[in-house]
Structure formats: C-alpha cells, structure tokens
Structure 1
Amino acid sequence: MACNKRIRDFSPKTQCREKRATEVIAEEECKHKLKFPPWHIPYMEKHRIYELFHELARELVIQQPADHVLFLKQILLQAVNSRDVTRIVILASPKVNCIEIAEQMGAKTRKLVIADEDINAFYKPRPRKDLNPKQFARVLGYLIRNKKASSSGWILAECVKTIDEAKAMLKAGILPTHVLHLIPPFLPPLCELMYCNVHAYWPEYRRNIMGIRDVFKHCLVEVFLKDQDIVEVITRCAELTNIRKAIVPLRPTRIVILGPKGCGRKTQAKMFNSRMGLIHVDFEQLLNQAWISDSELGKQLRACKDEVCFQSDLLSQIINKRILEDDCLEKGWVLTGFPNNEIDFRHLDTLDTPPNRVVFLECDLNVCRERLKNKRINVFTGSETDIKLNPELTIGKKLAVHPKDRIEVINAEITYYCENYGYMRNYCGETATVINANQSERWVFECIAALITQASPNCPPRNPCKGSEGSDNLLTSSGTTESIVSQKPEKPEFLYKCK
C-alpha cells in the first residue's frame, strides 16, 4: 500500500499538475503591481521629467528622423528649452480687432505675431483663398522656423479660417499650447480700439468656428470681452497663457495648505478627503498622539517641553511617519497645521515625499477672529458648532469654548503666522499659489482643485539647503539647522500646546 501511494504521488500526471500550479503562481506574482520607492515620483516632478520626455516624443514623431538615437542626442537641449514655450492661436469674431490684441500681447510677452497678411505676403502671386490646407500648413511652418519662433513662442492671429486648415496645422506638427477664443458682447462699441466693423468674412466664420473649436478642444480657453477694455483683455489673456494643463496627472497629489487660524484650512482638507479621497494629515492630532506615545520620538518630544515648537526636525519626523503609510502613498494627502515658519518648511522639503502643491489662504484677520469667536464645543461629544450659522443646534446642549479658541490664544497664533508669512512666501517663491479665502468654501475648493490639474510651475524648485535673504536659519545638506543669526525668533505662545 505504501509503495502504491508513493507511485501515485510521483506519477507523471501529478508532476504535471504541480508544474502547472507553479506556473500559475509565478504568473500571478508577475501581475502584482510594482512598488517604486516613494522618492522617485517627487524627483520626476521636481525636475519636470514628464514634460521633457513629452517634448522629446513630440519632436521625434513629427520629424521622424532616420537615425532616432542621434536625433534625440541633438534635440535634448532644445527640448529642455522648448518645453516651456507658449504657442498661442487666437480665434475671434470679425467684430474683434484681433490683430491689435495680438500685437500688444506679442509686445508684452515678446512673442512673434503671425497674421493672415504674412501668409498673403509669402504667397503674393496667388490669393490666400487658393491655398489648400497642406500648403497653408507648409507656409505656416516655414514662417515659424524662418523667424526662429520655435524657441521664443508665437501668436497666430486670424490665420486659421477653416476646419481643414486647423487639422492640417496639427498634422504638420504645429501644436499650440493655448487656443484663446475671444467672445465679444452682442452689440460691441465700435468706437473702441478692441472692436471693428464686420466684413465679408462673417458668414464663413459662423460656418467654421464650432468645428475649429472642436479641433482645438484639448487646449481651448474662452475669453469673454464684456465690460473690459483692451488692456484688461491683454492682461487676462497673458494670465491664462501662463496656466498649462499637466501632461501627466499628479499621482499622488500632496498639498500643504497654509493660512492664519480661522481661514478654513481644515475645512478645505475635509472637503478634499470626502470628495477626492485625499488623506487629511492633521498635524495637531498627530502631535498629540506622538506626545502621549511610549515611542522614542514621544520621549524626545516630552523632553523638549515648551521648546518643542523649535524642534523642526522632530516635528517633521512625525509627519514623515504618517505620509509614508500606504494610504497616503496611494491616495495622496492634504497637510494642515504645519509648517509654521521657514525652518519648518525646509525640513518638510527634505522628506522623501515633500508637497508638490503649496497653497496660501489669504483671509481678512477680522473674519478669522469672528469665525473662531462663534465656534463652540459640545463638552460631551466633542463636536464643533457655529452658534451664528446654526443657532438651533445650541438648544438643550452644553456648549463651551475650547481652550485653543480663547481670544488670547487666537491673537497669539495669528500674530506668529503674520510674522513668519513673509519668510515662507519668499522661500516658496513661484511654487506657491495664493487664494482669496474670503470667498465661499466651494469657490476656494474649486480654485485648489483646478490647481491640481495644472502643470508644475515654470520656476526653479524649492531648495531647502540654500539660505534666503532675511532668513534667520539655514538647513544644511545633512539635515541639521545651522544658525546664521544667534538670536532665536520670538517664542510663539500657546503654539504646539499639547494636553
């Protein structure tokens, strides 16, 4: 019996079954998602590697060289410079003086303006209407290359008149980054420089404009001209052309929201958590948990006592431990309550996954104080209630003012934020975005959400190892804080008060 059992276990059929099971297990293991180290994506975002490879691939597909390796070597430096070049097409009704707007925009942004008359001058023996779409695209490409507009950017005004011309332009590799459709009011004042009399091109414009918009829908921006003069329109168009959509959506999104106490930082973080699934990293809550823990970090925090607010390295370790957890790495996060000064910010930027979006909420300080003055805490449940907005919720409940919401605490924290606001803004430079928080909660949320879909700012990244003018401290490459001025900043009373 034992012999038969042994033969049955090692029979060819059993061995084949075991081999197949091993292959299935190996195949399933290959299907598992690869987990990259968390610092890979921040590095690519910081140096804008996505945009660089997108520009290389675009030039490679358009030019189609015989030796693609040699071409990539030669085009690399040009791709680095051209990934930030703005290429604009202006679509406008014949009622709009499009040429005047384009010329003033070109003078302001230092870009080449190509108008329909330039194409007519190039093909002077033949009228413009006799050019087929391929010839139009060929002439347009020649004008752009001959006038060296590829490196500085260009503006096309009144050039694209039909759907076929728009398609031929894209097929020839003339790809705009922005298409501005200037929409005038129903009865524009013809006495202004921005408008002109309607000419014979009007019926053709009506037939083709919707199709042209559809061809350029990936980069189309509408600009309404009602109640604006030409200076305001040009300023608005220049602002819109500075905003570019992200080539690759940021995954994961890492946002830090800063602002005075009462401006709505936590409210926005909770909205992002409920609507977009981002993890709300509440620094105050993390600090309280770390303070009472028996870990080595908790012992170090308790040893600092009231000086804990100066220990930026310890405070950043609390955040680093949380944002390296799987949910934050996969879904992204929104940080509130930290940093509170420039040194905090520098330590935050040395983490493996630093924030890729920085938002400053600017709010009237009197409004902030009013919001906090009306906030009450249920002493039994701990829930928050605004007695001004929800007076009916105060009936039959025992409410009290939280110790953190006393007027002296509020004034101390707001004063400390105002003292350090300038240092943090100078350190962030153009990598930060300022949003008016006096508006409604939904308006502020939509502004921050729109920021996520945009490309990374075209500016140098933040450098935590480089000191800034007026800064009291400098973070060295080893991660330690080196004092430039021996005097410490004023101690923020009530800040990081753990109980």
Structure 2
Amino acid sequence: MDATNRPLRIPPEMGVYAEKEKVFELIQKMMERLLLDRPEDPIQYLIDHLKNNNDEVPRIFLLGPLASGKRTLATMLCKQLNCIHLTMENLLSDETSALVAEAYLYKKKGQEIPSELWTKLIQEHLSKVDCIKQGWVIEAFPQTREQALMLQMAGIVPEHVVILDAPDNVLLERNPGKRIDPTNGERYHTAFDWPSDPVIQQRLVVPEGTSEEQTGKRLLDYHRNLSGIINSYSKIFKKINVDQPYVDAFAQVLTFVQSRHRNAAPHTPRILLFGPPGSGKSLQAALMTQKYGIVNICSGQVLKEAVAGKTKLGELIKPYIENKQQVPDHIVVKLLAEHLSKLDSSTRGWVLHGFPQDLEQARKLNDLRFVPNRVFFLDIPDETVFERLSLRMTDPVTGDRYHSMYKPAPSMKVQLRLNQNPKHAEENLKMRLDMYHANVQDLESFYEGVIHVNADQDPHTVFEYIESFTIKPLPKPVLQ
C-alpha cells in the first residue's frame, strides 16, 4: 500500500489474510480472556493463550429439566466433539482435591453443597490441561441465576448454552422409568435405554427422586429458576425440543454448538457461484447486488464490455469472440483481476460467476490472491436444464424473453418471429453440461467449505438460502 497516493487503496490480499487467519476474532478473544482473568502479567498471559490455540474448542452448558435426556445428549456430544464431559458426580471424583474433601463434609452432614464451592470445583477442573486443550460440556449446571452469575464472576463463560425442553406431562411419564447401576453409576431407562445384559438388568435400582410428588417438585423448581438462567445467557442460548427421537434432538444440538456467533469483525463478501447452465447464477448474483450493493462480475459480460470499450485487452479479445473461440485463460484472468482489484470490489465485496470453469482456471485466480469466502454450487437436474433453456425464446423486435411452458408468447404473430439462442440448442446444452460435470468434482475439492444449494425451486427461496449463508458466520467444521 502506497501512503503517498490518494485515495489510499487497501490491497485485496490484506483483507483475505485477515479473514483467513481470523485476526480480528483472535484479538477479540484475547481481550475477552484478559478482562475476565485479569492476570498479573498480561503479556505472558497472552503469549500462553496463543500457544494453547484453543479458541475453537467447545465450551458448552447443557441444561434441562429432569428426564430430558441431558446425560445421553451430553455423552454423545463429547464423543462427537472429543471434549471433556463434566457432571455433578465426576466433579466430586478427585479424591486428592481439598475442595472435593470439603464438599463431602457437607454431604455427610446432609447439607447442600454451596454454590460457591461448586463454582470453585468447576474452576479447578477447567484449569486442567485436558479441558483447556479439548474443551468441555458441563451438564446440569448452573441451576439458578445465582450460580450463573458466580460462574461469570469466576471467568467461566460458555460459547453455547443448550436448554432441553419438553412438556411436563412427557417428563412425568419418563422419570419413573429411570434406573441406575450401583456398581458404576451408569444410567438406564426401561423404555429408551435398557441394557441387553441380564446381569446388569438384575442389579439396576430405582434412583431417588422418581416418585410423582418428587418429580413435580423438581419440575416446579426448574421452571422457577429457568427465566433467570435464560436472562444470564440471553445471547448464546437455544432451546431444543426433546419430545422427539433422540437422534433428531442430537442433530439439532450438534448444529447449534458448531455454529459461530456474530461478532464485530468487518465482513466483505467474496462469492463464487457455480452451477450448470440455466441454474440461475445470473439471477442470484443480480439479487445479491440489488439488496446488498455487492459488485456483480459476470465473466462473459466483462469480456463483452472490454470489446465494446475498445480497450487494449478488448482488442486482443475481439478476434476470439468474432470467431466464436474461447478466450485464453491468461487474458480472462487479467481482465477479471482489474475488476476485482477496484475500490468498490475491495470495499463492498463481489460475486463472480462464469469463471472459473475448471481446476486450472481456479488455481490461476487463487494465485492472484482473489480468494472467495463463500462458494455456492447451484444444483439442478439435467432434465431441468433442458426444460428451462431449450424452450426459451427471444423476441428480436422487443428483446423480451418467452418460454414455451412458463411464459408463452402473447400472440401467434410474436410466436412466429421468436428466435432461439444457438447456445440453448439441445446438442450445445448437452456439450456444456458434459463439460460442467467433468470439472465440478475438481472444483468442489479445490475450494474448502463449499455450500450446495437446491436450485430447482423458486428463485427467491434459493436467494434466501444463499443470503443466510452469506450474512451469517460459517459453522465450525464437523469433527469426525
């Protein structure tokens, strides 16, 4: 960047680097932890924080009423995300901890463990290396607003709070079916999770608190405290209905905890639209431009404008277009680079379609540091392509487009003078489709995090889907 030239123009690669390396989010996370933990040596603390490289690890509270499936879903989450599962029971499992010994003194006296002590126990576990490196899921805590505030004051702030929800009558039916294995503390259910081993079946016992009266009291306490907990985590919680198969409930929970929250980082859309002919790339790009002011760059239109403007590159391109030959890639890339480097493209963002069409073109675009942050593939069946394009005609007098099925000509006179674009002839469409299918897999592999869109539906429905993935942060990658 040359500071002597006005106006100052920030090179596009600076924004690409900042977004790729998540510079803004990294600084924001560092400042958050610094203010929460208030270390004596801030510089060394930040160095250690960077070494841990754990900003993306899960930090989840999984809450819900009794019999809502907290243990089952928390166990599945930890297995999927490879993180540590903390429960009220295993918080008291460390016999060497002075805090655990203090907690057992309360239990021996038949007293409740104070919230302050629970907070210290959680803080002690979260300071261990496995929780720092892998992340954690805390099950069934906090249970009151007071406990939530204590955790916040101790610097324990989750990324996501999942609140399981089901009608009380469903929970009242589920709770009596609980069983517990006294030898290892494993939990089972007579209807949903019954062990196949007869030996385990015989030693299962009914846990405390499963009577109808006890269940009703616990549900009443839960509902009394729920609003306070929600107010404490109003920006990061989501209710999940668990009155459905647990596999479906787990899918919703997993989707939520892998989402990213909005932040104040500047976001400049850089969008690539791929799809077979007739998939609606031009229409979707136009809709994005109309609503958000993003620069619409169509490779075919850019070539025509260069020829019409009689630029130096236009003069090179003109013979190829006149002879209906493909313009060499290095010329197209150079022309696109001019448009992508302009100030409006760098500041407002861009949506590019029609290029690249194969892996080699994608690499050339990438080498110039024009890296998209959203890549959409508009998927439609080949039959739909033929239906959309082979029946499309143009009126040479008015320039209006008609379609034999969806928008027929208003009169026979107009119908007789309609012309078909040679590109839309069936043999040409088949050739273009074959070319697209030959390259689509390579392009999918080249770009990370591609998003497939069903384009065989109403255009505005397609636009809403593209829009949602454009303005929201992309989810975290699914861990295998």
- TM-score in terms of structure 2 length: 0.78
Match of 1:126 in 2: 106
Structure-2 residue corresponding to 1:72? 46
Find the aligned partners of 1:230 and 1:411 in 2 and give their Cα distance: 45
Shift of 1:255: 0.7
Aligned to 1:18: none
1:267 paired to 2:287 = no
Matched, 1:112 2:84: yes
How far, CA to CA, are the matches of 1:137 and 1:106 in structure 2?
A: 21
Partner of 1:285: 301
Output the CA distance in 2 between the equivalents of 1:307 and 1:273: 30
* Aligned pair partner of 1:434 in 444, 452, 456: 452
> Could you tell me how far apart the structure 1 residues matched to 2:26 and 2:13 are?
19
SS of structure 1 residue aligned to 2:12: coil
Structure 1 pair 285/113, CA: closer, same or farther in 2 (3 Å)?
same
Which of residues 267, 272, 275 is equivalent to 1:251?
Answer: 267
Is 1:89–1:180's contact at 8 Å kept on the other side of the alignment? yes
State the AA in 2 paired with 1:97: G
Label 1:94 to 1:401 Cα distance change in 2 as closer, same or farther (>3 A).
Answer: farther
Question: Which of 155, 169, 173 pairs up with 2:137?
Answer: 155
Alignment of 1:300-311 (within 5 A): 300-302=316-318, 309=326, 311=328
Distance 1:43 1:257 in 2: 22
Q: Given residue 39 of structure 2, which amino acid in structure 1 is its aligned partner?
A: P
User: What is the 5 A alignment of 1:52-201?
Assistant: 52-78=26-52, 81-119=53-91, 122=100, 123-126=103-106, 130-131=112-113, 133-146=115-128, 148-184=130-166, 188=170, 190=174, 192-193=191-192, 199=215, 200-201=217-218
CA distance in 2, matches of 1:165, 1:129: 17
Counterpart-to-counterpart distance in 1, 2:7 and 2:138 = 45
Counterpart secondary structure, 1:179? strand
| Alpha-carbon distance in 1 for matches of 2:114, 2:391 | 69
Could you say what secondary structure the match of 2:106 adopts? Answer: coil
Shift, 1:419, TM fit: 0.3
Q: 1:315 to 1:73 in 2, by over 3 A?
A: same
Please point out which of 204, 216, 239 is paired with 2:255: 239
Question: Are the equivalent residues in 2 in contact too, given 1:194–1:230 (CA < 8 A)?
Answer: no
What amino acid is the match of 1:414? L
Partners of 2:25 and 2:265 within 8 A in 1? no
Counterpart Cα distance in 2 of 1:74 and 1:242: 25
SS of structure 2 residue aligned to 1:61: helix
- 1:30-50 per-position Cα deviation (integer Å, ceiling 9, x unaligned): xx9965333211111122222
Instruction: Rate the CA distance shift 1:290–1:152 in 2: closer, same or farther, 3 A.
Output: same
Give, in angstroms, the shift of residue 234 of structure 1.
Answer: 2.6
Give distance in 2, aligned partners of 1:254 and 1:394: 44
Deviations 1:350-370 (A, max 9, x none): 335432211112222222322
State the Cα distance separating 1:418 from its structure 2 match.
0.4
- Tell me, yes or no, if structure 1 residue 412 matches structure 2 residue 431: yes
CA distance in 2, matches of 1:170, 1:373: 63
Q: CA deviation at 1:132?
A: 5.1
Shift of 1:420: 0.2
**Structure 1 contact 431–457 (Cα < 8 Å) conserved:** no
Deviation at 1:149, TM superposition (A): 0.8
Structure 1 residues 103 and 169, CA gap change in structure 2 (3 angstroms): same
Amino acid at match of 1:432: V
Structure 2: which 5+ runs fail to align? 1-5, 94-99, 175-189, 195-208
Deviation by residue 1:183-218 (Cα, 9 ceiling, x = unmatched): 336764846538997824211221232332332232
3-state DSSP of counterpart to 1:355: coil
**3-state SS, counterpart of residue 148 of structure 1:** helix
Q: Label 1:214 to 1:161 Cα distance change in 2 as closer, same or farther (>3 A).
A: same
Q: Residues 436, 87 of structure 1: CA spacing in aligned structure 2 closer, same or farther, 3 A cutoff?
A: farther
Provide Cα deviations, 1:86-108, integer angstroms capped at 9, x if missing partner: 21222323341211111122122
**Distance change (3 Å), C-alpha of 1:381 and 1:141:** farther
The yes-or-no answer on 1:345 pairing with 2:325 is no
* Percent sequence identity over aligned pairs: 21
- Inter-CA distance 194–97: structure 2 relative to 1 (3 Å threshold): farther
Q: Given that residues 393 and 420 in structure 2 are in contact (C-alpha distance below 8 angstroms), is that contact kept between their aligned partners in structure 1?
A: yes
Q: Equivalents in 1 of 2:413, 2:132: separation in Å?
A: 70
Q: Distance in 2 between matches of 1:161 and 1:339?
A: 54
Q: CA deviation at 1:410?
A: 1.9
> Does the C-alpha gap of structure 1 residues 311 and 179 become closer, same or farther in structure 2, counting only changes over 3 Å?
farther
- The alignment partner of 1:116 has SS state of coil
SS of corresponding position for 2:162: strand
Residue 212 of structure 1 aligns to a residue in which SS? Answer: helix
Deviation string, structure 1 residues 318-367 (Cα, Å, up to 9, x no partner): 22222222332222121111111111111222335432211112222222
Question: In 2, Cα distance between the equivalents of 1:234 and 1:244?
Answer: 18
Q: Quick one: structure 1 residues 41 and 223, their matched pair in 2 at CA, closer, same or farther if it must change by over 3 Å?
A: same
SS in 1 for 2:394: strand
Name 1:44's counterpart in structure 2. Answer: 18
Letter in 2 for 1:74: D
The reply on whether 1:376 has 2:376 as its aligned counterpart is no
C-alpha distance in structure 1 between counterparts of 2:459 and 2:71, whole Å:
40
Distance 2:349 2:300 in 1: 19
Q: Which AA in structure 2 matches 1:263?
A: S
Where does residue 203 of structure 1 map in the other structure?
Answer: 220
Give the 3 Å change call, closer, same or farther, for CA 400–107 of structure 1 in structure 2.
same
Give the drift of 1:452. Answer: 2.5
Count residues with an aligned counterpart: 424
Say whether the 8 Å CA contact 1:50–1:247 is kept in structure 2. Answer: no
Give the letter for the 2:76 counterpart: Q
2:315 is matched with 299
| Equivalence for 2:466 | 448
Any conservation in 2 of the 1:162–1:208 contact (CA below 8 Å)?
yes
